[in-house]
Amino acid sequence: MPQIPKDVRGARFTGWGTALGRRTVTNDDLAATMDTNDAWIRERTGIHRRHIGGTNAELSVESAGRAIAMAGIDPASIDALVLATTTPDRAVPATSATVQNALGLRCGAFDVNAACSGFVYALVNAHGLVAMGAERVLLIGTDILSRITDWTDRNTAVLFADGSGAAVLEAGPGQLLGWDLDADGSAEDILYCDHGGFIQMDGKEVFRRAVRIMVDSAQKSMAHAGVKAEDIALIVPHQANIRIISAACERLEVPMERAAMVIHETGNTSSASIPLALFDAVDAGRVKQGDLVLMVGFGAGMTAASAIIEWGGR
C-alpha cells in the first residue's frame, strides 16, 4: 500500500470552478419520450433533472477559466494540465490539448480515462507532478455522457449527463493525507462503451459492486492517512445513485448529512461528478480550513479511487 513520504512537497487547491451542460432536461422531459416517470427516477436514483449539451472542451474551458480566475494566476504560469475524461471530443488529440490552447497555457497537457473515478486518479497524478517540481497544475474532470447515451434506453438515459469541474493545485501547504487507486479489469463487461456505440450496463451488478469497492477504497485511504470515519467532515462520493451513496455512507459509518450531494441537479456526470459535488459543498460554506474531506469514486473498469485531503493544507 503506497504511503505518502513525510518530506514530500505538498500542494493545495487555490481556485476552482464548475460548469454544466447547456440545456436542462427534467425527468418529465424524459417521460415524454420513453417508458419512465418522474417518481421512479427520483425514488430509484435521486435524480430530479440533469443538464446536457456543449463539447468537452467548451465545458472544460468554462470551469477551468473560473478556477484560474479565482486562483488569480497567469495561465502561462501553469506547469501541467491533467484532464480526466471518458468522452474526449476527438479520439486524437487528447481534449486537454484543445483546452490548453484555448486557455493560453504553455505547458504539457494529457487526458486520464478512469471513468467515474477519473477526477481522483487525476488528483493523485497532479500531486505527483507537484512532488516532482511543478508549481501549478490545472486539474479538470469533464464528461459529455449525453454523446454516448442511447436516448431510447431507459436503463441508462435516466442516469447520465454532462458537466465539468476544475481546480488549480499550487505547491505549498500540503492537502493530500492519503489516497487509493484501484481497478478490476475482470468486471469490464458490466459497464462499457465501444467506439461509436452507446453505454452498455448491467445496472444491478454495477450497483452491487459499487458499494463494496467504494467502501474498500475509502477504508484504504483512511488507513493510509491514519484517520477514522468520525474525523471526516465531508464525504464526496461519486454521484451515480443516491441509494449507492446512502449504502456506502452507512457501511463507512459516515452520516448522510456529511455527504456532498448534487445528484438531484446534475445526474451522473462521470469524471465531473466529484468536483461538482465538492465545490458545491465548498461554495455553500460546508467546508472550513483544516476539515478532512474524503473523495471516493467508482466506475467502469471497474475502477475505484479515493483521497483524503485536509482543506486548505497543513
CB nearer to ligand UT7: give 130 or 242: 242
Question: Which residues inside 120-159 make contact with ligand UT7, applying CB under 6 A?
Answer: 154-155, 158
What would the DSSP string read from start to end of 150-217?
-TT-HHHHTTB-EEEEEEEEEESS--EEEEEEEE-GGGGGGEE--TTS--EE-HHHHHHHHHHHHHHH
- Candidates 9, 42, 44, 264: give the one binding ligand UT7 (CB under 6 A): 44
DSSP state of 73: -
Residue span 195-234 as binding mask against ligand UT7, x where in contact by CB under 6 A, dash where not: ------x-xx-xx--x------------------------
CA atoms within 13 A on the CB side of 191: 24
Indicate the residue type of 115. Answer: A
Give CA separation, 175 vs 14, 158, 169, 261, in Å.
11, 36, 10, 22
Rounded to a whole number of angstroms, the minimum distance from the CB of residue 211 to ligand UT7 is 10
Counting contacts by CB under 6 A, is residue 167 touching ligand UT7?
no
Ranked by CB distance to ligand UT7, the top (closest) residue is 203
Identify whether 51 is a catalytic site residue.
Answer: no
Q: In the chain, what is the greatest distance between 2 CA atoms, to the nearest angstrom?
A: 58
Set 27, 113, 116, 249: catalytic member: 116
Cα–Cα distance for residue pair 201/255, rounded to 1 Å: 29
Beta-ladder partners of 235: 259, 294
- Candidates 64, 116, 139, 176: give the one binding ligand UT7 (CB under 6 A): 116
Rounded to a whole number of angstroms, the minimum distance from the CB of residue 32 to ligand UT7 is 13
- Candidates 94, 240, 272, 293: give the one binding ligand UT7 (CB under 6 A): 240
CB nearer to ligand UT7: give 154 or 251: 154
Q: Are 279 and 261 a contacting pair, CB within 8 Å?
A: no
- Candidates 18, 63, 98, 241: give the one binding ligand UT7 (CB under 6 A): 241
| 118-131 vs 273-283: helix crossing angle, rounded to 10 | 80
Q: What φ, ψ does residue 166 adopt, rounded to 5°? A: -140, 155
Residue 308 region by backbone torsions, left for phi larger than 0, else alpha for psi between -120 and 50, else beta: beta
Counting contacts by CB under 6 A, is residue 306 touching ligand UT7?
no
Set 56, 113, 125, 268: catalytic member: 268
Cα–Cα distance for residue pair 59/166, rounded to 1 Å: 10
Counting contacts by CB under 6 A, is residue 36 touching ligand UT7?
yes
Question: Which residues inside 52-71 make contact with ligand UT7, applying CB under 6 A?
Answer: none
- Candidates 100, 149, 268, 303: give the one binding ligand UT7 (CB under 6 A): 268
Nearest-Å Rg of the Cα atoms of the chain is 18
Q: Which region, judged by CB under 6 A, interacts with ligand UT7, from 38-46, 78-86, 100-108, 303-311? A: 38-46
- Candidates 14, 45, 217, 303: give the one binding ligand UT7 (CB under 6 A): 45
Identify whether 116 is a catalytic site residue.
Answer: yes
Identify whether 238 is a catalytic site residue.
Answer: yes
Cα–Cα distance for residue pair 310/296, rounded to 1 Å: 15
CB nearer to ligand UT7: give 268 or 306: 268
Residues that bind ligand UT7 (CB under 6 A): 36, 40, 44-45, 116, 154-155, 158, 201, 203-204, 206-207, 210, 240-241, 268, 299
Residues noted as catalytic: 116, 238, 268
